Amino acid sequence: KEVIELAVSGTLNAMRSCVRAGTVKRVILTSSVAAVAGRPLPLGDSHVLDEESWSDVEYLRVTKAGGWAYNVSKVLMEKAARTFAQDSGISLVTVCPAFTVGEAPATIVHTSVPVILSLLTGDDEKIRSLELVDRASGSIPMVHVHDLCRAKIFLAEEEAASGRYICSSLDTTLAELATFLAAKYPEYNVNTDRFGGRPEKLRVCISSAKLIGEGFEFRYKALDEIYDDVVNYGRSLGILPY
């Protein structure tokens, strides 16, 4: 309850301040793919989720799967912000980023970076978080933090931009990711056997076609490019040994 209520009230307070200022032309609201992909997985493979897809709040409340309150908070925050923007007349664009990774100025990191490096660090708790995402969403979508920042600036400046935009440059699976990391970084002894029974084929693709269709181009599109950067970042923070 606290997570959900704080997300909604905090967002609305910030938007009220924007309206009162009288100088804000557009609000860029950061949500998450957690507001897109938290729903029962469809049967079969190769399903595409786009901006019309919403996490199922009732399903999440009933199942209470790991992180369910975060997913619900993002959905309710988005919808409250959209209603407020319509009533107040302020322009609102919402960005739904995937797992956001890559080198940043921050010297303390809490979620995305430790989780995305967990197969290399062997942190079992963080690996279980990655397993949960893979199992619940049917894929592990990622975006480099530099691309996310560029996308927000792009959408702030693009006059025609409106509504929601997913920001994800690639999708992978846990089995595929473990195989890739074991080959690229053999010094970290990635345990690929743990994921032997998991499907390597994507069940779900988190689509950024709308963002790309507006003219945005991702610079980091491959696991190689993303992990070269985030591994160096993890080493500099002491999360990974050199």
Indicate if the alpha-carbon torsion angle 136, 56, 5, 146 is positive or negative.
positive
Contact 38, 70 (CB under 8 A): no
Contact 169, 142 (CB under 8 A): yes
List alpha helices for the chain, DSSP H.
Answer: 2-21, 34-37, 57-63, 68-88, 112-116, 118-121, 124-137, 145-157, 174-184, 209-213, 223-237
For the question of residue 74 being annotated catalytic, the response is yes
Phi, psi (rounded to 5 degrees) for 28? -105, 110
Residue 148: name the closest of 95, 187, 103 by CA.
95
Give the max Cα distance, the chain.
57
| Per-position b or e across 134-149, b if 16+ CB within 10 A of its CB | bebbbbbbbbbbbbbe
CA distances from 132 to 126, 137, 198 (A): 10, 8, 12
**Rounded distance between C-alpha atoms, residue 22 and residue 59, angstroms:** 39
Given the residues 1, 64, 74, 184, select the one marked as catalytic: 74
The residues annotated with a catalytic role in the active site are 74
